[in-house]
Amino acid sequence: MPADAPDIRSILNRIDFDRHRVKPGERIDLDKIDPEGDGAFDGDRADAEAMFETLNDRLEVLQELLFAEGKHRVLIVLQAMDCGGKDGVIRRVFDGVNPAGVNVASFKVPTSVELAHDYLWRVHPHVPGSGEMVLFNRSHYEDVLVVRVLDLVPEARWRKRYDHIRSFEQLLVDEGTTILKFFLHIDRDEQAERLRERLADPEKRWKFRLGDLDARRAWDAYMRAFEDAIEHTTTTDAPWYVIPANRKWYRDLVCVATIVEALERLDMRFPPAEEGVEGVVIE
C-alpha cells in the first residue's frame, strides 16, 4: 500500500460506513431517514471539506492504480429524484480524476429501438471493462421506478425485475466488478428550493421541464418505489447506500469516502515492470 495510505486510513476510520448501507433483508422507510442526517461522521462542515479534498486526491491515485493493474472493474450507480444531486456528485467527487479512466453513462428516456428489447439490453454495453470505472447517471433502476409509478408496464412484469437485476449485478460482480449504488436522499422542501433556484437562474432555467412537476406530485409513490427497489436489490456484493443529501458537503464526503474505502479494499499495486526492462538504456 502506498506511503500515504495511513493518512487515508485515519480519515476513513472517522466514517461509519454501515450507517447508510442498506443491509440485505433490512426494511427501510425513507420518510423516517433524515435527509439532513450526518450520523456517519462526527465532525463539522470545515472538517468534512478538508477530509473531502484529501479523499478526492486519493481517488485520483486509486483510479490510476485501477487502470495500471487492469484487473478490477468499478461500477457506480447514482439514483435520485430531480435535483437530488447526481450531477453534483459526478462533478465534485470525480473532479481531477483522469477523464480517460472514468466514463459516465447517462440513461435517458429509452428510444424505440431500446424499448423493442429487454430493459437490460441498453445497459449491458456500458458496464466497465478491466481497469475501468463507469458512473451510471440513472440506470436500469428506472425500469422499476418511473416505469412503476407511471404504470408503463403491468406490475406482474416489473415485479420480476428485482430478480433480473440482482442476477445481472451478481454476474458483473462474479466477473470482477465492484458495484456501489447510491440513492441521494433529499426531501420535498429541498427539491422545491433547488427547483426555485433553477427557475431563477437564466443559465439554468432551460433545464426546467413542466413535466418535472408531475414527478414531484408523485413524490410518495416514488419513495415507495425506491424503498422496494432498494430493499429487493441491496446485496452484500452490490450494496445500496441511502445518502442524506440535503447538505451537499455531507453527501459529497460520504460518497467519496465510500468509493475510496471500497477501492482501498482491492489492495491494488502498480504492476511490475515488463521483464527485460531493467537495464534498458534509451538511446
In the complex, the smallest distance separating the C-beta of residue 209 from a second copy, rounded to whole angstroms, is: 6
Diameter of the chain measured on Cα atoms? 69
Q: Is 195 in the site for a second copy (CB under 8 A)?
A: yes
* Contact with a second copy (CB under 8 A) among 14, 21, 164, 207: 207
CA 147 – CA 87 distance, rounded (Å): 22
Q: Is 273 in the site for a second copy (CB under 8 A)?
A: yes
**Residue nearer to a second copy on the CB measure, 29 or 283:** 283
DSSP state for residue 237 in the 8-state scheme: S
Across the chain, the runs of DSSP E, i.e. the strands, are 21-22, 73-80, 102-106, 133-137, 177-185, 240-244
Q: Is 87 in the site for a second copy (CB under 8 A)?
A: yes
Please choose, from the candidates 105, 106, 102, the residue with its C-alpha nearest in 3D space to the C-alpha of residue 133: 102
Q: Which helix (H) or strand (E) holds 263?
A: helix 248-264
* Contact with a second copy (CB under 8 A) among 68, 115, 150, 171: 68
Q: Is 155 in the site for a second copy (CB under 8 A)?
A: no
Tell me the three cell numbers of residue 76: 457506480
Q: With CB under 8 A as the contact rule, which of the stretches 30-38, 92-100, 147-155, 221-229 interacts with a second copy?
A: 92-100
Q: Is 109 in the site for a second copy (CB under 8 A)?
A: no
Binding mask 110-149 for a second copy (x = CB under 8 A): -------------------------x-x------------
Across 188-248, the runs of DSSP E, i.e. the strands, are 240-244
Q: Is 3 in the site for a second copy (CB under 8 A)?
A: no
Please choose, from the candidates 20, 17, 78, 52, the residue with its C-alpha nearest in 3D space to the C-alpha of residue 248: 52
* Contact with a second copy (CB under 8 A) among 103, 130, 170, 235: 103
CA 91 – CA 257 distance, rounded (Å): 15
Q: Which helix (H) or strand (E) holds 256?
A: helix 248-264
CA 121 – CA 251 distance, rounded (Å): 31
In the complex, the smallest distance separating the C-beta of residue 166 from a second copy, rounded to whole angstroms, is: 27
Q: Is 32 in the site for a second copy (CB under 8 A)?
A: no
CA 96 – CA 59 distance, rounded (Å): 9
Tell me the three cell numbers of residue 180: 456501489
Q: With CB under 8 A as the contact rule, which of the stretches 39-47, 114-122, 194-202, 231-239 interacts with a second copy?
A: 194-202
* Contact with a second copy (CB under 8 A) among 107, 208, 219, 249: 208
**Residue nearer to a second copy on the CB measure, 44 or 175:** 175
Q: Which residues bind a second copy (CB under 8 A)?
A: 64, 68, 87, 90-91, 94-100, 102-104, 106, 135, 137, 192, 195-196, 199, 202-203, 205-210, 213, 216, 270-274, 276-277, 280, 282-283
